[in-house]
Amino acid sequence: MLSLNRVSKFYKIGTFGGKELAAVRDVSFDVNRGEVVSLIGESGSGKTTIGKMVLKLIEISRGSITFDGTDVAGIKGGAVKSYYREVQGVFQDPFSSYNPIFKADRVFTMIRSEYYPEMSRSDWDAKVETALAGVSLEPDQVLNKYPHQLSGGQLQRLLVARALLLDLKFLVADEIISMLDASTRIDVLNLLAELKDRGMGILFITHDLSLGNYISQKTVILRRGVVVEMGATDKVFGNPTHPYTKVLISSVPQLHKKWAEVEAEIQAHGGDHDGVCLYHEAYPPTGQAGDGPGDRPAMVKVEDDHFVGCFDLGQGICKA
């Protein structure tokens, strides 16, 4: 369904834009129909940048993104509208998606005017009520109200309902439950699982490992804009190989352990391979011409459906 092939995003920085900052570098992974893929990493790792490139909100600097075989970067004009009928995103901060001078349900009106102009009012109202029921909202509690009259959780669920009004095939869910209370979180997670069962592909962007482990079939671990480990979720969480993945998993709060114990485990995990990069053990540089990073696979297979990239905890990204 969705495929990223060595996707990179660079920003010009410094005086007169003389330098480049790599926000995302050589990221490759697939999201299949009826599959949830968790993109996990700390703040600033490039997760949201990847989501925005998928949604054509920012341009790709290098590489390619394809959706059902179509080059996303090449979509223009009316084809963009058709793309958004099948691909939508919901982001972390719902307040930024609403104009405070309009009522919150204007997001539904815009969908109707663009995609369902011929639908009768009664059919449209029924469609909206069904979408609201899917995110546990009562129409009389949220419709005809201004954004400041609703909670962040209600606004977020309205955005999910907006996405459900379209014939979606793919959803970018970027930290969509971070502003929801615990009881509502499970409702939204179960809704995503239901959408997955209907055949929707979902890119679930999060920094919360427990959520990713709960909902996804595949996990991609991102560090400083680079994929360091990915594969079947049970294998990434059950047999973490990259030191950064181990640090992330060890950092999850545990009620039965004091933080000092957790810190000691994190330090121990960081040295499991004595500083040896497993990636370059599999693909050692030869020093010959044409042996640049782009000439070698981005990841090395450590077991079926489990891959790891190169690492150097001290320097960030190993460039051996």
SS (H, E, C) the chain: CEEEEEEEEEEEECHHHCEEEEEEEEEEEEECCCCEEEEECCCCCCHHHHHHHHCCCCCCCEEEEEECCEEHHHCCCHHHHHHHHHEEEECCCHHHHCCCCCCCCHHHHHHHHHHCCCCCHHHHHHHHHHHHHHCCCCHHHHCCCCHHHCCHHHHHHHHHHHHHCCCCCEEEEECCCCCCCHHHHHHHHHHHHHHHHCCCEEEEEECCHHHHHHHCCEEEEEECCEEEEEEEHHHHHHCCCCHHHHHHHHCCCCCCCCHHHHHHHHHHHHCCCCCCCHHHHHCCCCCCCCCCHHHCCCCEEEECCEEECCCECCCECCCC
Residues 81-108, mean pLDDT to the nearest whole number:
84
- If pLDDT is split at 50, 70 and 90, which confidence band does 233 have? very high
Q: Is the pLDDT score of 23 beyond 60?
A: yes
- Cβ atoms of 61 and 9 closer than 8 Å: yes
Which pLDDT score, from 0 to 100, does residue 288 have?
45
pLDDT computed for residue 295 by the predictor: 53
Q: Check pLDDT > 60 for residue 297.
A: no
Minimum mean pLDDT range among 135-149, 209-223, 254-268: 254-268
The residue ranking higher by pLDDT, 266 or 71, is 71
pLDDT category of residue 314 using cuts at 50, 70 and 90:
very low
Confidence (pTM): 0.81
On the question of pLDDT at 3 being above 50, the answer is yes
CATH for 2-238, among 3.50.50.60, 3.40.50.11030, 3.40.50.300, 2.60.40.1510?
A: 3.40.50.300
Listed range (21-30, 176-185, 196-205) with the worst mean pLDDT: 176-185
User: Residue 50 has what pLDDT?
Assistant: 94
pLDDT at 254: 58
Q: Answer with the residue of higher pLDDT: 281 or 122.
A: 122
How high is the mean pLDDT of the chain? 80
Ranges of CATH 3.40.50.300 domains, the chain = 2-238
pLDDT higher than 70, residue 272 = no
* Percentage of residues of the chain with pLDDT beyond 70: 80
